[in-house]
Structure 1
């Protein structure tokens, strides 16, 4: 790893920590207090209750108050963090640092008593800012945990661009990949360090799966994807392209025996990975079903808040929840998602190149975001991440639309920096055929900027207090639809070009044989 890469990595980490200085979501906003409280509450539950009760509703575990709704790896992570605070407190009381130990308040994770707990010391501990009020060892240990979570994602990007892609501009592509506004602003501005980079961990594991696929290590890729899926179920966005890509690899084996052996090896890797992760919940079927119900909450409704997907935008004009129940909407969403995923999956099956795989990942993940059930607005990160794979061939601008007034300053400063940097690079490589798209792109940026500025002021209509968030969602939805169509067209052209190249190669080989 050269000096340029190391400096780039350190700068990326610095930007993430600077963005984290902004206020987090839910601060001093009862009764739910936001995502900071969710993370603290999960530590409270996993530390104080037996594992069989983590996903069950009870008097001590009110699932309506930030109940665990992520797969087991997230729960184990929360348990380890909570256990770390307990161990550190005990160790400090056993040493001469009793005054520091008192700052690790038992109220942080006391069952029931810690609900909505907020304090300066707790925020310092969660953020690990290295304040002199906390022992250096504690801050260092906490920072290491946070950095490991970040480095899972950042190391995957470094490995892909520096070691797998042979390109003279690989450092530039790496830099662009490290500064995706949506990931930085959502993970480090909205959720911040208290979320311990949940998205970074999941997306990092997924990107390592891509790296292993690129190296033809399919079993390791399957294991990494299982870890990502068991950390956040939103990784299902990538499941169809990954399954079809690996299935085609099995089919393309020369002998029938090799096809079966390849398929069995991949299946065993998945089964063993899931079995190990889910082992504590495999005591009976009811425990497994309870976890699944929490991970896929049909009773919550088809969309979350004002998300920029098909179902919310339709509901603005036609209240679908009045005419259809949750089960009917769930079936409709599955059918619509599969239908929207069909073009990308079909082309991938016909031509299983890594380039087609990259396009399919974006198309299918965007189809899931637009049409699947219970979509959260921040799951657009899972569409942004595979877009990184196209930076070298189809440069895109990653601009976040975030309706969080507490981080508007970070949004504008960071987007301004990114526009200045990326536009200089993009305009150099845009040819005449791309210029029309470039003009459309800048028109898009202007519309986003105008709406972002307008949203800083109150709605001019008392009847529509949420006017700007709704307009934000509608504008974003139109962008996503246009983007979905564009990527499908690009995938088709790539498919067509590869087919023509193969045909020309066969013709040349045939002529060469005739000349012999």
Structure 2
């Protein structure tokens, strides 16, 4: 049936409504209101990087160490800081913004300037998300991608990490989405270019690189169609699309050359800064992953050993630990803090960097096998998400903020099938809530709780409204109810931790447990993230209908 002109015009008008302009304006107002709020030490980190790149020659950027907040991001981010430093107004310079000192001394002018740079840099994210919406193939897909894009543009994670805590993740994820959408449009050279640019901005995205490499290798560089008319040697030669491989390799090498060649005299120092393997297994604040659960179990076993004598013989036989260490109370207190140095486990076996690398690699390879066999765009996003899961759950010295590596790619495909929603809902609820301890001042505490709760409620129903429901729906009602029940318990978690915060200065006993709130958030959120990973992995490996682009 052919549509008449009026119908076509009406449809076009409807489609043009899917713009993120109003969302950007609303988010801008909120971020401007937060400009004078709390910020972490990361603020002085980036202030110091502005000072280094502005005042010193490029040969000293990765050597300068007056402040403990040395430059430890890849070169493109250093160039980015240099560009920002060229626009620092005189009033901000006089405020101390560009002083190379051990600890920054600055006021509101510097705060306003750096806050504005984060807001402006996030335009990259909005443009990338709008491009995803505009290039969606149908009205239904535009509608779904609009909901997904809106949820990312208004992400509580970005609000907490970038606009309160202080970082530039919005711009980074904008570049990631430029790469991913290029892959969806089969612009493989552009996909490789943007991802190479991203790696030269922030090396944490190396965790996602295996999926990008396998996808581009399989779709752009290999020809696996076997011809019986040709002999084996010719088939093997034609296995590689040599022209495509050379073009892709040239693009990627060129990007890295532009980034790293200016630092050829200081490359050893640069790489030492990028990969500080001397740091311990866990960050100062346990990320909600396998090692948070592992650390918690070790603390529980310590208390069991000390308070229930009958268990001591059994624990010694099973774990073979040095029981004399448990008599040193000061050592036990230090260990429970999970400081940046090597964390010690007193009963459970020690975890090495090699073990975390092997576990991460194993689970990433498992995700890459289906991608190699079925290199569709949806399978690609699924594999990227699982690579993010693996690195977050099993990686060495994982920051809690790395949960966005999982949430953001998964959001692009969650509307694909209603069966993905339980895993996604559990992931965002646990992932975003686990960021709450990053901000501990009263005003921002209310903002993070209220804003995240409203975000979750709004997009919970919007995702349900637009998500595709397959003809043979077999999503269990019980699973949905268990997930929703688990998420509702966060109300209790938030209430308990808030009461502890209010009372810890009044009761001396609570001061002995200053890291109790962090442990509660990390362990409860960790169980949820691991459960989300299990549910998502099951769908990835078992249900092929979700990952087929043609359906």
Same fold (TM over 0.5): yes
Q: Which has the higher mean CA deviation after the structures are superposed, 419-428 or 66-75?
A: 419-428
8 Å Cα contact 1:455/1:468 also seen in 2: yes
**Superimposed CA distance per residue, residues 294-328 of structure 1 (whole angstroms, 9 cap, x where no aligned partner):** 1111112222122212233323344783379xx98
Question: What SS is found at the alignment partner of 2:343?
Answer: helix
After TM superposition, list the pairs within 5 Å mapping 1:232-311 onto structure 2: 232-249=202-219, 250-252=221-223, 254=225, 256-257=237-238, 259-282=241-264, 284=265, 287-305=266-284, 306-311=286-291
8 Å Cα contact 2:37/2:164 also seen in 1: no
Question: What SS is found at the alignment partner of 2:500?
Answer: coil
2:198 pairs with 1:228 = yes
8 Å Cα contact 1:362/1:487 also seen in 2: no
Structure 2: how far apart are the matches of 1:80 and 1:364?
A: 32
Residue matched to 2:9: none
Shift of 1:172: 4.9
Structure 1: how far apart are the matches of 2:353 and 2:136?
A: 40
Residue matched to 2:27: 15
Structure 2: how far apart are the matches of 1:347 and 1:17?
A: 44
2:454 corresponds to which of 392, 417, 421: 417
Shift of 1:336: 1.1
Shift of 1:104: 4.6
Residue matched to 1:204: 174
2:444 pairs with 1:444 = no
Residue matched to 1:166: 138
Structure 2: how far apart are the matches of 1:37 and 1:25?
A: 15
Structure 2: how far apart are the matches of 1:35 and 1:165?
A: 41
Where in structure 2 are there 5+ consecutive unaligned residues? 1-12, 226-234, 299-334, 336-341
Structure 2: how far apart are the matches of 1:495 and 1:105?
A: 60
1:340 corresponds to which of 339, 363, 366: 363
**Superimposed CA distance per residue, residues 108-141 of structure 1 (whole angstroms, 9 cap, x where no aligned partner):** 212228x32231232233334xxxxxxxxxxxxx
2:499 pairs with 1:457 = yes
Distance 1:477 1:189, change over 3 A: closer
Structure 1: how far apart are the matches of 2:478 and 2:451?
A: 26
2:82 pairs with 1:79 = yes
Structure 2: how far apart are the matches of 1:485 and 1:9?
A: 37
Question: What SS is found at the alignment partner of 1:373?
Answer: coil
Question: What SS is found at the alignment partner of 2:242?
Answer: helix
Shift of 1:440: 1.9
Q: Which has the higher mean CA deviation after the structures are superposed, 155-164 or 478-487?
A: 155-164
Residue matched to 1:480: 529
Shift of 1:457: 1.9
Shift of 1:46: 1.2
* TM superposition score normalised by structure 2: 0.75
Structure 1: how far apart are the matches of 2:250 and 2:208?
A: 20
8 Å Cα contact 1:347/1:495 also seen in 2: no
Shift of 1:470: 0.4
Structure 1: how far apart are the matches of 2:184 and 2:151?
A: 23
Structure 2: how far apart are the matches of 1:445 and 1:19?
A: 27
**Superimposed CA distance per residue, residues 394-437 of structure 1 (whole angstroms, 9 cap, x where no aligned partner):** 34343311212232222222233223323333555676734222
Structure 1: how far apart are the matches of 2:415 and 2:351?
A: 42
8 Å Cα contact 1:340/1:364 also seen in 2: yes
Structure 2: how far apart are the matches of 1:189 and 1:23?
A: 12
After TM superposition, list the pairs within 5 Å mapping 1:22-171 onto structure 2: 22=34, 27=39, 34-57=41-64, 61-62=65-66, 65-85=68-88, 88-89=89-90, 102=91, 104-105=93-94, 107-112=96-101, 115-128=103-116, 146-147=119-120, 149-168=121-140, 170-171=142-143
8 Å Cα contact 2:288/2:400 also seen in 1: yes
Shift of 1:13: 4.1
Residue matched to 2:440: 405
Residue matched to 1:4: 17
Question: What SS is found at the alignment partner of 2:18?
Answer: helix
For these two proteins, the number of residue pairs brought into alignment is 453
8 Å Cα contact 1:70/1:231 also seen in 2: yes
Structure 2: how far apart are the matches of 1:151 and 1:81?
A: 15
Distance 1:423 1:372, change over 3 A: closer
Shift of 1:253: 5.5
Q: Which has the higher mean CA deviation after the structures are superposed, 348-357 or 9-18?
A: 9-18
